[in-house]
Amino acid sequence: MSHNFDPTVLREYDIRGIIGETLGPDDARAIGRTFGAMLSEAGGKKVAIGYDGRVSSPILEHALVEGLTASGCDVVRIGMSATPMLYYAEASAEDVDGGIQITGSHNPANYNGFKMVFQGRPFFGADIQELGRRAAAGEWTDGTGEVEQRELMDAYIARMLTALDGVDANKLGSMRIGWDAGNGAAGPALEKLAAALPGEHHLLYTEVDGNFPNHHPDPTVEANLADLKALVAEKSLDFGIAFDGDGDRIGAVDGEGRVIWGDQLLMIYAEDLLRDRPGATIIADVKASRALYDHIAKCGGEPLMWKTGHSLIKSKMKETGSPLAGEMSGHVFFADTYYGYDDALYAGIRLMTASARLGRSVTQLRGAIPAMVNTPEMRFQVDESRKFAAIDEVQARLADSPADVNSTDGVRVTNDDGWWLLRASNTQDVLVARAESDSEAGLERLVAQIDEQLQLSGLERGESVGH
């Protein structure tokens, strides 16, 4: 027995594909067989599994359980849940050695996939390639694992609420907040959480619906925040929080309806955290604003620029002992008094507590952030065989440049006008570009530099493509 995956589904951070085309129950069963064998070899025995609200998720979950138990692993089923709830199941229970969440994250409704944790660390990159190789070779163990159901919701909510300990109850109680679950898997947890939080809370789209009838659940796209902005305006709320489809990425707007982007949220979180932990290393990805790195340093922290990707960031946090990290995409990781994984519900609570501790409203905190002029994230198609080679060519040409060239993840060039970034996506056949300046004229010059480098490699920016 063996199994060959469609080559497009084994990605850098997860396994993800289109249901009925590149991904189905046979793949889920093979993932269970192979992951179970790899975990058993490492001395593990028990795997927690959850799934998001997509129509295809229950079928995949059933097949995944079959695969895991056939490998000899025991399974803890936590049912439909946000991804951070699965992470909580793995991190908080001493008897659980691994975790798999069935989720398509923010992708369209016909997608689904698997995010994995292996003995407390992200399972990604070479791990996923090894899983594919072993499945194709049929390197499986045989056994008969047991299955149990575990109700975790109440414990998960109670654990998150510990973030309120020691925070001024009057300040928290006066807050008026809007929340948009986007019909994603975080909806039921959000309902319970909001009922337990101090303050006044107005909720949108908490009913789980894998067809996403109201808007696409990706809070990094401003159009998807329109309903939240309208709610904040209509009710004169202090701020609003939005989630992606599986609840591990946060989006936010202030009381004036301004978007608080991922790097701006991290500025607020860092300012709050660094008052208690001066000198701490705060990690952000290469797409983040220079204003963030400057702000971390100004608040007494050590800014560290790192590669984009939630698994890569989590691994770097463990390596450096960083208590806080974040990405432009809205993944925020708290390891000061939490577990170091990305949990958008918890990040929402931490925005409340940061505002209370810093003594300023979220609107005031957003207003104090320097006004930078930047491009959106520009993504454009490049043949898979060219994307990394093109970045290498750009790096070689800039080797003797007087500008500051950072090659942590692609090429990030800083000069008098600001900075521009060109990197290859780890998950798609696209190059990603971004630029930021403090003036429109400076931004134009930076974008022209990106175009020049692309032309020298026989490429052009062309039409931007979606995620």
pLDDT in tens, 7-64: 999 998 899 999 999 999 999 999 999 999 999 999 999 999 999 999 999 999 999 9
The CATH number that applies at residue 302 is: 3.40.120.10
Over range 276-280, report the average pLDDT: 97
Give the pLDDT confidence of 94-125 residue by residue, as tens digits.
999 999 999 988 788 899 999 999 999 999 99
262 and 301 in one domain? Answer: yes
Mean pLDDT in the chain? 95
Q: Which domain holds residue 199?
A: 156-367
Residue 420 included in any domain: yes
The CATH number that applies at residue 441 is: 3.30.310.50
Q: Is the pLDDT of residue 466 over 50?
A: no
Lowest-pLDDT choice from 177-191, 252-266, 381-395: 381-395
Residue 451 included in any domain: yes
Residue 462 pLDDT: 66
Over range 186-195, report the average pLDDT: 98
Residue 467 pLDDT: 43
Structurally, the chain folds into a number of domains equal to: 3
Q: Among the three residues 136, 151, 166, which one is the final residue of a domain in this structure?
A: 151
Give the pLDDT confidence of 303-323 residue by residue, as tens digits.
999 999 888 999 999 999 999
**Phi and psi for 383 in degrees, rounded to 5?**
-55, 140
Residue 465 included in any domain: no
Query: Taking Cα atoms as reference points, which of 298, 251, 289 lies closest to residue 271?
Result: 298
Q: How many residues does the chain have?
A: 467
Residue 10 included in any domain: no
**C-alpha dist (Å) from residue 162 to 165, 171, 238, 280:** 5, 16, 22, 22
Q: Among the three residues 316, 334, 367, which one is the final residue of a domain in this structure?
A: 367
pTM (2 d.p.): 0.94
283 and 242 in one domain? Answer: yes
357 and 225 in one domain? Answer: yes
**Residue tagged active-site, from 56, 57, 81, 105:** 105
Residue 449 included in any domain: yes
Residue 353 included in any domain: yes
Q: Active-site residue 105, yes or no?
A: yes
